[in-house]
Amino acid sequence: MRNAFHDELDSIGASLLQMTSLVRVAMSEATTSLLTVDLTIAEKVIAADGVIDEIQHELDARTINLMARQQPVASDLRTLVTSLRMSADLERMGDLAHHVAKQARMRYPNSAVPAELVPTITAMGLVADKLIDKLSSVMEHRDAVRALEIESDDDEMDKLHRDLISTLLDDKWSHGIEAAIDMTLLGRYYERFADHAVSISRRVYFLVTGEYYTS
């Protein structure tokens, strides 16, 4: 019985890693669609969001069922409760990639990103990819030390977000209100994506140590 229970726990962990991989692809491709004005890629990301949602629903149902059947305690219960919260964060990260792709589709065949902000959005996409790559390793290996690194990695995203807002507020901004709204939303999507990565890293830290980490 215990072996079967731990096999199910391992399966839940594998599903979380699968979600993480799909979220990474989604945000990477959403960024590509945004910067290259590629409608085909944008549509692909939008359609794929349903797959992430389905995995989350199935994963949460399995987790709750396992909690009801096995009535776990101590670290096993912590693992299951943490899994529910991480799946919610990952689902939201998928939604944010979906929003980026929808922004690209909405402005097609024009670019949603003015030329002077292409470097900033490119950098935000790279930071998002670095965060989710490290997060995947942290989750797989339950690495509490690297989990703490994600907090400082998020600082890069926050700086880029501040730079973007500064550009929008500059008197030299010449692209009008609509473009400013587009860029405000896009900046927020990337910034929130990184925040959810931090949230998951803190949950991994709690899972490993039993203690909450606050910066």
As a whole number of Å, the end-to-end CA separation of the chain is 40
Q: What is the mean pLDDT of the chain?
A: 94
CATH topology of domain 2-209: Methane Monooxygenase Hydroxylase; Chain G, domain 1 (1.20.58)
Higher pLDDT, 2 or 180: 180
pLDDT digits (tens, 9 = 90+) for 102-161: 999 999 999 999 999 999 999 999 999 999 999 999 999 999 999 999 988 999 999 999
Is residue 214 pLDDT above 80, yes or no? Answer: no
Predicted pLDDT of residue 1: 57
Residue ranges per domain, the chain?
2-209
pLDDT digits (tens, 9 = 90+) for 76-100: 889 999 999 999 999 999 999 999 9
Predicted pLDDT of residue 71: 81
Q: Which pLDDT band holds residue 212 (cuts at 50, 70, 90)? A: confident
Mean pLDDT over 41-61 rounds to 97
Mean pLDDT over 182-187 rounds to 97
Separation of alpha carbons 44 and 5, rounded Å: 37
DSSP for the chain reads: -HHHHHHHHHHHHHHHHHHHHHHHHHHHHHHHHHHHT-HHHHHHHHHHHHHHHHHHHHHHHHHHHHHHHH---HHHHHHHHHHHHHHHHHHHHHHHHHHHHHHHHHHTTS-SS-GGGHHHHHHHHHHHHHHHHHHHHHHHHT-HHHHHHHHHHHHHHHHHHHHHHHHHHSTT--SHHHHHHHHHHHHHHHHHHHHHHHHHHHHHHHHHHSS----
